[in-house]
Chains A and B, each alone.
Chain A
Amino acid sequence: MESTRPKSNNLPVITLKPSKGWLAVDFKELWRYRELVFFLTWRDIKVRYKQAVLGIGWAILQPLLTVLIFTVIFGILLETPSQDLPYPLFALSALLPWQLFATALQRSSVSLVGNANLITKIYFPRLAIPLSTVFAALVDFGVSLVVLFGVMAYYRYWPTWNTLWLVPIVLLTILTALAVGLWFSALNVQYRDIQHMVPFIIQVWMYASPIVYPIETIPAGIWRVLYGLNPMVGVIQGFRWALLGGSPPDLTMLISVGVVLVLFVSGLYYFRRMEKTFADIV
């Protein structure tokens, strides 16, 4: 654990000693390293689209192609109900927050191991690494959001005041990804099993969220409450409602927020507890 206090001669004094127990997050320090977070985010985005002919165009194509597949299989072939919305719009409005979540979770889970060379050589708050992957996913999301507004315009849906709710809902999405990502990234440092499990977890999680089917498919009552324990249920439901109207978020939203907060705070503490061992075991 370190503490930094100014000395009479204006030099910061760093204390080195064994860290013990559970530590709170040093937000002040994290803030001092904001430029590092920025550059790591920037690196992630830059590197991802280097040497790709379509470049950032992939952030547009990916959701479009996925929606096309969903529309054909679930919309046309299986005739899945879609809350009286055109199926492509119904699916896309859920796919966007979902892809933000899935990308952020997947990347942050392997982020510490992927940056092992930094962790073993240089000191900085380790939180900067999963944070930057989540921010990078947010940039992709921003691009595909433009596509969504385009598709909405095509179906004659226009933004309303409710659309402003997107801001807290997107925040909740990345908080969810970060909450799980913190747990996974820290665990993955020691148990590489995590990185093999994550793709399956994400796949199962997707079908456990109302993306290709409406929430009404789940019987109301106790089942719906249990279903709401999946925080992405609240997120997706809220996202759809903010853009397209329909059934507004209900009790499930509150459950979702509660679950995320518990995961996030515990994830932060677990991460901080393990942080000092990353360089030794990664």
Chain B
Amino acid sequence: MSDIAIRVENISKRYRIGLAQSRPDTLRDLLMANIRRVGNLFRRGDNGDSDNLSHIWALKGVSFEVARGQVLGIVGRNGAGKSTLLKILSRVTDPTEGFGEIHGRVGSLLEVGTGFHPELSGRENIYLNGAILGMRREEIDRKFDEIVDFSEVEKFIDTPVKRYSSGMYLRLAFAVAAHLEPEILVVDEVLAVGDAEFQRKCLGKMSDVAQEGRTVLFVSHNMSAIQRLTQETIVLDQGKIVMRAPTTEAVDFYLNMGLTKQGERFWEPEERSDAKSRFVPVALRVLNPAGEVVDTVKAAEGFAIELEYNLKVPISGLRVGLYMMTTRGEYVFTSFDTDEREKFEDFTNRDAGHYISRCFIPPNLMNEGRYVLGVNASVYRIQRFFQDDKALTFTVDATGAPGMQWPEQRLGPVRPKLNWQIELKEK
């Protein structure tokens, strides 16, 4: 009994659709809804079941146990219920159904810098943020120097954090959070920010925490971070645990979940540039070598990107372009479907019809990470028919990439396999 840190049984969480994201109701809506409800009283056949349509289950019947000192990974696509689960475990929100028991204090790192105030100095924010994260004042006093040291912002400790660079801000925020000492630490995507150097530092701190024998729940989209830090991982999908297994196995299962609906972007009729438009985008997809639409591709295997579109009328001089960017907005490359002379001659004048422009990204080109695809259709210097700078994001996984014998993150968006030669000139 005493070696269990977390036990949850049949935890479910129901949200009203739109409630979490959109503007809350106004009194007027409430009045209108009440009037409608009163009206419904006189209508037969309305048994109130329609109410269920406006709810979704973010989590449904989730049960698991975590042993004390275990570092457990949680993976799943956006909307799979990861954040909801962490929010329930850290008591930010109540489960709608179910029961759970947590042995020990929970510290949550749901987002670094929560509660930071831009007007306050670094010093003041350390105390404020520490208190918000549940540290006692004397505890902060004791660790103050250590925190400042870790953050590397000593010189600016009495400057308002609004004058900090984003890097300094993140370092300070992570430094405070990293010095929490709860028995159970819940970590959500903290490694998704900052530069590579800083990410490495965070990762190092996380594994220290794990080695100290504390229980850690670690959520990330970064599969290599999950693999480095955890031995066992839970895969969540549509609010349910679909697998719990040793991390390598679980990650593999997650990356290959065939039912993926991501890796694909459709444009709804109203999103297309306009009704009279001559160029009508239909979908943008990321495909693995087997031709399946996927959210995560393996750098070592190469992948394809395709844009499906309709031309309402013939267009001469059309070029369809693809931009790849990092999630921090740096361009990796720009490429057009008629870059090659041969394609330029054959396709620069296109008849009306239904088209797919597909390009292949060679194996061992991209580094691991999350990337953003932008698309554009234009006639050079004449007219732009369509542009979407953030059409789709996808993940590149480094499994099998060159240099994986060293489990570190590589700088830069490309990770090419280069033909190295090593010569022994003298001995």
**Which residues of A line the B interface, CB within 8 A?**
1-2, 7-9, 11-19, 35-36, 38-40, 42-43, 46-47, 50-51, 117-124, 189-193, 276, 279-282
Contact = CB atoms under 8 A, between A and B. Distances in A.
Contact of A279 (B93, B101, B106, B119): B93
A149 B210 CA distance: 59
Contacts of B92: 119-123, 279
B65 interface: no
Contacts of A191: 24-27, 30
B103 A47 contact: no
Contact of B102 (A9, A13, A193): A13
Given A14-B91, A190-B24, A191-B26, 6 more contacts: A9-B2, A15-B100, A47-B119, A50-B120, A51-B119, A124-B132
Contacts of B2: 7-9
Ranked 10 nearest A-B pairs via Cβ? A16-B100, A123-B91, A39-B131, A14-B102, A279-B93, A276-B94, A121-B114, A11-B104, A121-B110, A50-B119
Contacts of A47: 117, 119-120
B128 A16 contact: no
A17 B95 CA distance: 6
A35 B114 contact: no
Contacts of B108: 121-123
B8 interface: yes
A272 to B, nearest CB: 12
27 contacts: A9-B103, A11-B105, A12-B103, A14-B102, A15-B102, A16-B94, A16-B99, A17-B95, A18-B94, A18-B96, A36-B132, A39-B128, A39-B132, A40-B131, A42-B128, A46-B119, A47-B120, A51-B119, A117-B115, A120-B92, A121-B110, A122-B108, A122-B110, A122-B114, A124-B134, A190-B24, A280-B20
Interface string B5-23: 0001001000100011001
B90 interface: yes
A32 to B, nearest CB: 10
A118 B132 contact: yes
Interface string B347-361: 000000000000000
B137 A35 contact: yes
A17 B98 CA distance: 6
A183 to B, nearest CB: 14
Contacts of B133: 122
B95 A18 contact: yes
Given A35-B136, A122-B108, A280-B19, A13 B27 contact: no
Contacts, number: 131
Nearest to B108: A122
Contact of A16 (B25, B27, B89, B131): B89
A78 B181 CA distance: 65
B77 interface: no
Nearest to A189: B24
Interface of B: 2, 8, 11, 15, 19-20, 23-28, 30, 87-106, 108, 110-111, 114-115, 117, 119-120, 124, 127-128, 131-134, 136-137, 160, 183
B90 A123 contact: yes
Given A190-B24, A281-B20, A15 B115 contact: no
Contacts of B97: 18
Contact of A193 (B27, B91, B93, B120): B27
Contacts of B91: 2, 14, 16, 123
A122 B132 contact: yes
Contacts of B95: 16-18
A108 B20 CA distance: 22
Contact of B26 (A35, A36, A193): A193
Contacts of B27: 191, 193
A279 B87 contact: yes
Contact of B94 (A8, A13, A19, A119): A19
Contact of B114 (A14, A19, A43, A117): A117
Nearest to B138: A35
Contacts of A9: 2, 103
B96 to A, nearest CB: 6
B67 to A, nearest CB: 14
B93 A276 contact: yes
A179 to B, nearest CB: 21
Contacts of A122: 90, 92, 108, 110, 114-115, 132-134
Nearest to A47: B119
Contacts of B101: 13-16
Contact of A7 (B98, B103, B110): B103
Listed residue (A14, A47, A123, A193) with the most chain B CB atoms within 10 angstroms of its CB: A14
Contacts of B19: 280-281
Contact of B15 (A35, A43, A280): A280
Contacts of A12: 103-105
B194 to A, nearest CB: 18
B107 to A, nearest CB: 9
A16 B8 contact: yes
Contacts of A13: 101-103
Contacts of A15: 99-102
A7 B128 CA distance: 30
Contacts of A1: 94
Contacts of B11: 16
Contacts of A123: 90-92, 106, 108
A35 B130 CA distance: 10
Contacts of B136: 35
A246 to B, nearest CB: 42
Contacts of B98: 16-18
A249 to B, nearest CB: 37
A51 B119 CA distance: 9
A9 B127 CA distance: 30
A189 B25 CA distance: 10
Among A40, A117, A122, A193, residue most surrounded by chain B Cβ atoms (within 10 Å): A122
A178 B97 CA distance: 33
Contacts of B160: 50
A1 B100 CA distance: 11
